[in-house]
Amino acid sequence: MTKRKLLRVFFLLVLVLTTASLLAGCGKTAQAPTSPQASGEIKEIKIGLLNSMTGAFAPAGALAGYRGQQIAIDMVNEKGGVLGKYKVVPVVADAQSNPDIAIREAERLINVERVPVIAGVFSSAIAVPVAQLCERNKTIFWIHIAISDAVVKGKHQQYIFRPQPMGSQWGTGTVDFINHNYKLFGVSSPSELKVAILHEDGPYGVSCAAGNMERIQKYGMKLVFKQAYAVDIKDMTPIITKLKAAEPDVIFHTGYFPDLVLFFRQARELGLKTKAIVGHGAGHASLPEIGQQVGKDVVEYVFNIDPPPAQIIDPKKLAPGLGELNAEFLKRVKEKYNVDNPATHYTQGFVHTWILLEKVLPVAIEKYGGVTPDAIRKACLELDIPEGGTGEGYGVKFAPPEDEYAGQNLRAYPTVVQWAGGKWNIVWPENLKTAEPKLPLPKDSPFAK
């Protein structure tokens, strides 16, 4: 073989080996990176925080819930993280008060950020589709505020967990409260009370209204008005005019922040009169802020049902150490956000995130080997916190997959509070009461009959 041929063979061999090496390298880099959390190897714990940081839901409670989440994460990380050694890394996503954007952000958290758990959200209209997405992708969805029954009812989901009470409890609870106090209206029977239901037409409003109806029929109260409306309604004049003509003793109202501002403003202008206005969370939890826009006297004596804000919970009714935990949380809300009397959504975001970080994830790691969705799911299903064992006062026990309300906290319940004299007071149930309800509306209310 000539020298020229030998050189040609040599260069061909080099070319073949180089090409093989490059192809092998390309094959390796094309493989999806393995997530330490997905494989069970833990260095830090990424958690997706999906909230409406902007848009109509932000001032109604979504932003407050997010802030509560962040304070819980800060407090856990200052102790070294989960179990004192695994730092929690929040991956923040803004749903922008839009279900379509929320779904895209949830997909990003699942497929790009690869978080094992998404914690949120405020709006039930967002919670319903995001829950379905998380279930399909076997990602934990930890719901800290949204209350619609439709999120869980009849779906038998395995990766959706809600420590928060559910919407029908809001609707039934407010009517139970009125029934318990019917004599204050000067009647001899609940059947003499004329009641009205007004609600936004999304899953949240529908859940509350259904609960209202169930109890109204049970007690035989007279339903004189029932109306749903779009959450982005621009004029409530026709609705309020008909509501005024019905002359209800009690108005059960479910809505968000912007529509409540509109309702209270136009109700006052149109001279609406009644004996009690009872809200169901969301916008009604922000009555002080609504009062700044429509007048403080307008929201005075209005009732709301929700898990109570930390500042009005009697620490003696909580397990040892939880009163101090709530006090530290309230101190940080003041220092970080300059809020003296935080709405209940701050507390819901904080307490429910604390349950996840302090009660669920340690079990997932120590007993089930990591923070994979399946490990977290198993830890959730065996969680057993008794009454008084959380900062909200209620316990935690999630319904199993075979239950009609799979993933719902069966020990959670809301309380009825009343805004009066610049503060919230718990007026029902009896075991948590801090003040007697002012019923019917006192004469200094613009809505008093």
For residue 437, what are the CA distances in angstroms to 181, 193, 286, 418, 441?
Answer: 9, 17, 19, 7, 10
Q: Which residues pair with 196 in a beta bridge?
A: 225, 251
Q: Residue 255 phi/psi, 5° resolution? A: -165, 170
Mean pLDDT over 23-52 rounds to 60
Lowest mean pLDDT among 14-18, 221-225, 299-303, 406-410: 14-18
Q: What is the pLDDT of residue 21?
A: 43
Q: Residue 281 phi/psi, 5° resolution? A: 75, -155
Q: Residue 311 phi/psi, 5° resolution? A: -70, -15
Are 208 and 254 contacting, i.e. CB atoms less than 8 angstroms apart? Answer: yes
Return the beta strands (E) in 35-135 as ranges: 44-51, 87-94, 117-120
DSSP annotation of 162 reads B
Pairing of strands 250-254, 87-94: unpaired
Q: Which residues pair with 396 in a beta bridge?
A: 385
Q: What percent of the chain has pLDDT over 90?
A: 82
244 CB contacts (<8 Å, ≥6 apart)?
270, 271, 272, 273
Kind plus residue range of the DSSP H or E element containing 199: strand 194-200
Pairing of strands 140-143, 194-200: unpaired
Is the bond into 414 cis (omega within 30 degrees of 0)?
A: no
Give the angle subtended at the CA of 18 by the CAs of 17 and 22, to the nearest 5°: 120
Cα Rg, the chain, nearest whole Å: 26
Q: In degrees to the nearest 10, what's the CA dihedral of 377, 381, 382, 388?
A: 110
Q: What is the pLDDT of residue 16?
A: 43
pTM of the model: 0.79
Q: Which residue's structure tokens are 């479910």?
A: 254
Written as one letter, the residue type at 17 is: L
59 CB contacts (<8 Å, ≥6 apart)?
257, 286, 289
- Token reading at 288: 């002080």
- Please report how many Cα atoms fall inside a 13 Å half-sphere around the Cα of residue 195, on the Cβ side: 26
Quickly list DSSP for 20-47.
HHHHHHHHHHTSPPPPHHHHT--SEEEE
Are 52 and 335 contacting, i.e. CB atoms less than 8 angstroms apart? Answer: no
Mean pLDDT over 362-370 rounds to 97
DSSP annotation of 208 reads H
Q: Residue 232 phi/psi, 5° resolution? A: -95, 25
Is the bond into 307 cis (omega within 30 degrees of 0)?
A: no
Selection from 301, 289, 284 nearest residue 339 by Cα:
289
Q: For the segment 96-137, what is each residue's pLDDT rounded down to a tens digit? A: 999 999 999 999 999 999 999 999 999 999 999 999 999 999
Written as one letter, the residue type at 218 is: K
Q: What is the pLDDT of residue 12?
A: 47
How much is the mean pLDDT over the chain?
Answer: 91
Structural domains of the chain, ranges and CATH numbers in brackets: 38-165+315-381 (3.40.50.2300), 168-306+414-432 (3.40.50.2300)
**Helices in 220-272 by DSSP H: which ranges?**
237-246, 257-269
Q: For the segment 378-422, what is each residue's pLDDT rounded down to a tens digit? A: 999 999 999 999 999 999 999 999 999 999 999 999 999 999 999
Confidence of residue 45 (pLDDT cuts 50, 70, 90): very high
